[in-house]
Amino acid sequence: MKYNLISKYDIRVPRYTSYPTSPHFINGTNEPLFINKLAQISDEPISLYLHIPFCKEICSFCACHTQISRKSSTISSYALDLTNEIKQIHSHINGKAKVQHIHFGGGSPTILSTQDIELIFNCLQDNFSILGNATVATEIDARTCSEDYIKTMASYGINRASLGIQDFNPKVQQAINRHQSFEMTQNVVNQLRENGINDINFDLVYGLPYQGEEELLYTVEKSTELQPNRYAIFGYAHVPWMKKHQQVIDETTLPNAELRWKECELISKTIAEHGYNPIGIDHYAKDDDILYKSLKNHSLNRNFQGYTSDNSSNLIGLGVSSISYINGAYFANELDIKNYHTLTNNQEICHKRHIELNKDDLIRKQIISELMCYLEVDLSKYEADFSTEIELLSELKNDGIISIKNAIITVSPDMRNLTRAVCAVFDKYLTRGEAKHSRAV
Ligand SMILES: C[S@@+](CC[C@H](N)C(=O)[O-])C[C@H]1O[C@@H](n2cnc3c(N)ncnc32)[C@H](O)[C@@H]1O
Ligand code: SF4
């Protein structure tokens, strides 16, 4: 790609893990709507996401909703709060909802003790009907992951794990305050496999301080020695106005837009050479991985955890900052742990923002999801007038980012990094320059 185009599209756009995106939810709790949407849950299996907002240390690049906690009592108290939220959700659902997908994210779920895990899983089992073939996944910080954590989670049916690696170079690790050796990662991967957890994802990040092509190549090549089934490759989102701890990152050490683009291309090429297929805009998976199979049979989805083979229509988010999507409405939970404690203890509803999607939102949600998952959408399937969007897309077409044939919009495979810019054209809520998002590439 020519440099003038790289700088032209070095814009800030949402990550489109939802539509409308979370800054456009309405402030306030809507208890009747929430209860009504939960009551509509019937026989169709749902998914659960549990957010664990604690880490032993904060990596200075991190944009996740987390905080430092080394006190086991704080974490146990939060685990108890989670069980109160689970019970409250259950009380609004008719019977025990079937669950086909559970994801523990964070923060670092690896901070949970055996007792915390037992408490949470026993409560989940009492209040939901977890299907025998459910996918149960956990995010893992290899630096704080004990064998006890793996064994206990395995005993409750965990069958998928996602490890944050980010970068293996000491200079980059120093700059992001994250020291994680290859051996540490290897040890956890071995323990996971010894405990029957064979579906393993690695997260890598490009665009980090002091990262050049050489550093990235080293990280990618080294990580492939451990043979994960999948990769998620994120461009570093530098958002110091939102995440104050990122202010310690020296911006002069960050790669510029051209280098970020090159890094992204280099990762794609190297990972492909190792037998991983591109999925959506930033994931890669082996031929036998369910994510790749979902892409092939057109059942891939995108939610707050990124790309997923999970095809449940309803996702219930538990814990601070979690977002639920229930029968056409989003509900975003309280962000503050103390407030969450009060709410759950008083058996109050935990969301603080929400939005119910109208017909137009639902169409645009589907279009954006298709673009993000398949890099293609056929607008003729939708009963709506998109002439304004087609006009706006002409610039992206002239720049070779997309092709438009009849009403089919296709993102060029080598331009897939810019898919979010294509989606932004369909985003009715987005006013350019209004909300501050991360970079498109
Ligand atoms: C909740 S963390 C993963 C689990 C665990 N806490 C760890 O760090 O290993 C989710 C992932 O988000 C990604 N991430 C966090 N902050 C980011 C940022 N500012 N830009 C891009 N990716 C980021 C990292 O790749 C990280 O592994
Ligand atoms: S990257 Fe993971 S371990 Fe580091 S601060 Fe973020 S959530 Fe915690």
Could you tell me the CATH number of the domain that includes residue 404? 1.10.10.920
> Which residues are bridge partners to 200 per DSSP?
161
> Does the pLDDT value for residue 433 go beyond 50?
no
Ligand 2 atom, smallest distance to 63 CA: 6
In this structure, are 237 and 383 located in the same domain? no
Q: Would 312 be classed as within a structural domain?
A: yes
For residues 353 and 215, the model is more confident at 353
Q: What confidence tens digit (pLDDT) does each residue in 58-71 have?
A: 999 999 999 999 79
Report residues whose beta carbon is within 6 angstroms of any ligand 2 atom. Answer: 55, 58-59, 62, 64, 66, 106-108, 141, 164, 178
In this structure, are 187 and 66 located in the same domain? yes
In this structure, are 299 and 413 located in the same domain? no
Q: CA 62 to CA 321: how far, in whole Å?
A: 15
pLDDT for the residue numbered 10: 77
> Does the pLDDT value for residue 85 go beyond 90?
yes
Nearest ligand (C-alpha, residue 185): 1
In this structure, are 128 and 195 located in the same domain? yes
The mean pLDDT value of the chain amounts to: 94
In this structure, are 386 and 267 located in the same domain? no
Angle at 182 between CA 180 and CA 185, to 5 degrees: 75
Number of domains in the chain: 2
Note down the domain range covering 404: 359-425
Segment 240-253 mean pLDDT? 95
- Using 50, 70 and 90 to split pLDDT, how confident is the model at 3? low
Q: Would 28 be classed as within a structural domain?
A: yes
Question: Cβ atoms within 10 A of the Cβ of 99, count?
Answer: 22
**178 CA distance to ligand 2 middle (Å):** 9
pLDDT for the residue numbered 437: 57
Q: What confidence tens digit (pLDDT) does each residue in 103-155 have?
A: 999 999 999 999 999 999 999 999 999 999 999 999 999 999 999 999 999 99
> Does the pLDDT value for residue 241 go beyond 60?
yes
Question: Cβ atoms within 10 A of the Cβ of 152, count?
Answer: 20
For residues 414 and 150, the model is more confident at 150
Nearest ligand (C-alpha, residue 59): 2
Question: Cβ atoms within 10 A of the Cβ of 264, count?
Answer: 20
In this structure, are 306 and 377 located in the same domain? no
Percent of the chain past pLDDT 90, that is, above it, reads 88
In this structure, are 324 and 383 located in the same domain? no
Tell me the pTM: 0.95
> Which residues are bridge partners to 104 per DSSP?
50, 138
- Using 50, 70 and 90 to split pLDDT, how confident is the model at 351? very high
> Does the pLDDT value for residue 1 go beyond 60?
no
Ligand 2 pocket test: pick from 51, 62, 162, 243 the residue with the most ligand atoms within 8 Å of its Cβ. 62
Q: Would 435 be classed as within a structural domain?
A: no
- Using 50, 70 and 90 to split pLDDT, how confident is the model at 439? low
What sign for the dihedral angle of Cα 63, 67, 72, 78?
Answer: negative
Q: What confidence tens digit (pLDDT) does each residue in 270-280 have?
A: 999 999 999 99
For residues 432 and 180, the model is more confident at 180
What sign for the dihedral angle of Cα 434, 357, 291, 421?
Answer: negative
Ligand 1 pocket test: pick from 234, 242, 263 the residue with the most ligand atoms within 8 Å of its Cβ. 234
In this structure, are 77 and 202 located in the same domain? yes
In this structure, are 218 and 246 located in the same domain? yes
Nearest ligand (C-alpha, residue 177): 2
- Using 50, 70 and 90 to split pLDDT, how confident is the model at 6? confident
In this structure, are 250 and 110 located in the same domain? yes
Q: Would 5 be classed as within a structural domain?
A: no
In this structure, are 326 and 402 located in the same domain? no
| DSSP characters over 252-317 | GGS--HHHHHHHHHHHHHHHHHTTPEEETTTEEE-TTSHHHHHHHTT--EEETTEEES---S-EEE
In this structure, are 327 and 405 located in the same domain? no
Segment 5-20 mean pLDDT? 86
Helix (H) or strand (E) holding 128: strand 128-140
Q: Would 7 be classed as within a structural domain?
A: no
What CATH number is associated with residue 338? 3.80.30.20
Q: Would 430 be classed as within a structural domain?
A: no
For residues 73 and 430, the model is more confident at 73
Q: CA 107 to CA 239: how far, in whole Å?
A: 17
Q: Would 11 be classed as within a structural domain?
A: no
